[in-house]
């Protein structure tokens, strides 16, 4: 099959690499335009572009996906199939171009957790299981007919970074299985409506900075899940003397306490914990605004309460 791959971050690179190693013919890659990033505003290339360039695969970086020049170039590759992993929403003129359509790899067990941040929301909600789904693109986002899915367990100590890495591998494996079955003619696409149950649909909208502030009035387990669901990125935060304190790694301590939620307790040497509704969040890895990320012992050595 002649395949055009569309993606941006590291999560997508694993699937692209799997396609190449399996011998599939990736004729082109579509990714986001280069843009300045960081303090020095150096030009940043997407992880997918860097990988594709290293493997001498033509790279297309359209600003607008309906641009006539881009569409003409896309058609010129005469792809049988397009694969999308962590990319932008595509117009129909793009996803409907190849004869086999466009397959998307999504980091959840659809129809649950449709949206831009399924990994974060699954952990924030305390799920014990997630997974990946391959499906055919159609008009409404993340609603197309399902091809294959694979479940992945979530440990209570897993953060969003851990689940990201596990789903990245599972996504690449499931994509290869999907393409093989597509070539064999054994795939039976299922409408997502068939998989709907009485359980309410949970959504996974994009997460913004203002969504990451910790509410200490919540139960301790809920705060714990919120922190690990946003670690390592974009990171949950609280305020310490009007400065942003990002919290990356914690343990929960469930105890009966009359302490006001949000109260900090510390021996100023080895531990720092903050009261929640029914216990404490014991912090082990953090970053104060203007400082480097560090473990709590090093932080306490230099911070004066």
pLDDT band at 53 (very low <50, low <70, confident <90, very high): very high
- Residues 219, 260: one domain? yes
What pLDDT does 140 receive? 87
pLDDT digits (tens, 9 = 90+) for 32-44: 999 987 777 788 9
Q: How far apart are the C-alpha atoms of 252 and 214, rounded to whole Å?
A: 14
pLDDT band at 48 (very low <50, low <70, confident <90, very high): very high
The model's pTM is 0.94
CB atoms within 10 A of CB 10: 16
* Span 91-110, pLDDT tens digits: 999 999 999 999 999 999 99
Residue 270 lies in a domain: yes
In the prediction, which pLDDT does 54 show?
Answer: 97
Residue at 202 is within a domain: no
132-170: pLDDT as tens digits: 999 999 888 899 999 999 999 999 999 999 999 999 999
pLDDT at 154: 98
Residues 169, 56 share a domain: yes
Instruction: Identify the pLDDT of residue 213.
Output: 98
Same domain, 253 and 160: no
Per the domain annotation, does 127 fall within a domain? yes
111 annotated as ligand-binding: yes
In 3D, which of 278, 276, 270 has the Cα closest to residue 299?
270
Q: Look at residue 203 and tell me if it is in a domain.
A: no
Q: Which two tokens stand for residue 114?
A: 């449709």
Is residue 193 scored above 90 in pLDDT? no
Please give the tally of structural domains in the chain.
2
Element (H, E) at 300: helix 296-302
87 plus 162 within the same structural domain? yes
| CATH code, domain with 12 | 3.40.50.170
137 annotated to a ligand binding site = no
Residue 246, in any domain of the structure: yes
Q: Which residue from 113, 166, 164 is spatially nearest to 135, judged by alpha carbons?
A: 113
Q: What would the mean pLDDT of 118-145 be, rounded to a whole number?
A: 96
Q: What is the pLDDT of residue 189?
A: 94
Mean pLDDT of 67-93: 96
Q: Give the residue-averaged pLDDT of 50-66.
A: 97
Q: Is residue 201 included in any domain, yes or no?
A: no
46 belongs to an annotated ligand binding site: no
Going by their DSSP bridges, the two strands 25-30 and 2-7 should be labelled as: parallel
Residue 250 lies in a domain: yes
Mean of the per-residue pLDDT values of the chain: 96
pLDDT at 197 over 80: no
The CA-atom distances, in angstroms, between 184 and each of 10, 19, 187, 286 are 29, 17, 8, 50
pLDDT of residue 122 exceeding 90: yes
Res. 265 pLDDT band, cuts 50 70 90: very high
Query: What's the domain range around 133?
Result: 2-195
Question: Which whole-number Å values give the CA distances from 166 to 119, 171, 177, in the listed order?
Answer: 10, 9, 17
Q: 117 with 205: CB under 8 angstroms? A: yes
Residue 25, CA atoms < 13 Å, CB-side half-sphere: 8
Residue 247 CA to residue 233 CA, distance in Å, equals 10
| Domain harbouring 277, CATH code | 3.10.25.10
Residue 274: predicted pLDDT: 97
Strand partners, 4: 28, 82
Torsion of CA 165, 166, 171, 174, to 10 degrees: 150
CA dihedral 250→252→253→255, nearest 10 degrees, is 140
Interval 13-32: pLDDT, tens: 999 999 999 999 999 999 99
- pLDDT at residue 41 in the model: 77
pLDDT, position 38: 74
- Both 105 and 188 in one domain: the answer is yes
Asked if 150 and 132 touch (Cβ cutoff 8 Å), the reply is yes
Predicted confidence at residue 166, as pLDDT, reads 98
Q: Is 239 annotated as a binding residue?
A: no
Q: Which of 195, 217, 251 is the last residue of a domain?
A: 195
pLDDT in tens, 266-280: 999 999 999 999 999
């Amino acid at each position: 099959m002649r395949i055009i791959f569309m993606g941006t971050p590291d999560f997508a690179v694993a699937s692209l690499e799997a396609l190449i190693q399996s011998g599939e013919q990736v004729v082109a890659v579509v990714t986001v335009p280069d843009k300045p990033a960081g303090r020095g505003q150096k030009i940043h290339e997407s992880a997918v572009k860097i990988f594709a360039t290293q493997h001498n695969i033509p790279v297309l970086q359209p600003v607008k996906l309906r641009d006539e020049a881009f569409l003409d170039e896309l058609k010129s590759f005469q792809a049988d199939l397009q694969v999308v992993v962590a990319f932008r929403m595509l117009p129909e003129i793009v996803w409907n171009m190849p004869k086999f359509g466009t397959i998307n790899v999504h980091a959840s067990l659809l129809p649950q957790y449709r949206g831009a941040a399924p990994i974060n929301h699954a952990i924030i909600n305390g799920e014990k299981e997630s997974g990946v789904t391959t499906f055919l693109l159609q008009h409404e986002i993340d609603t197309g007919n399902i091809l294959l899915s694979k479940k992945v367990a979530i440990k209570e100590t897993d953060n969003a970074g851990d689940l990201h890495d596990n789903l990245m591998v599972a996504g690449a494996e499931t994509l290869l299985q999907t393409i093989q079955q597509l070539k064999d003619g054994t795939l039976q696409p299922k409408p997502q409506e068939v998989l709907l149950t009485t359980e309410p649909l949970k959504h996974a909208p994009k997460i913004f900075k203002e969504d990451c502030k910790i509410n200490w009035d919540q139960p301790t387990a809920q705060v714990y899940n919120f922190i690990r669901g946003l670690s390592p990125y974009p990171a949950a935060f609280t305020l310490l003397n009007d400065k942003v304190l990002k919290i990356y790694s914690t343990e929960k301590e469930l105890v009966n306490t009359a302490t006001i939620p949000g109260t900090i307790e510390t021996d100023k040497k080895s531990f720092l914990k903050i009261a929640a509704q029914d216990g404490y969040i014991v912090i082990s890895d953090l970053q104060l605004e203007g400082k480097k990320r560090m473990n709590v012992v090093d932080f306490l050595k230099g911070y004066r309460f």
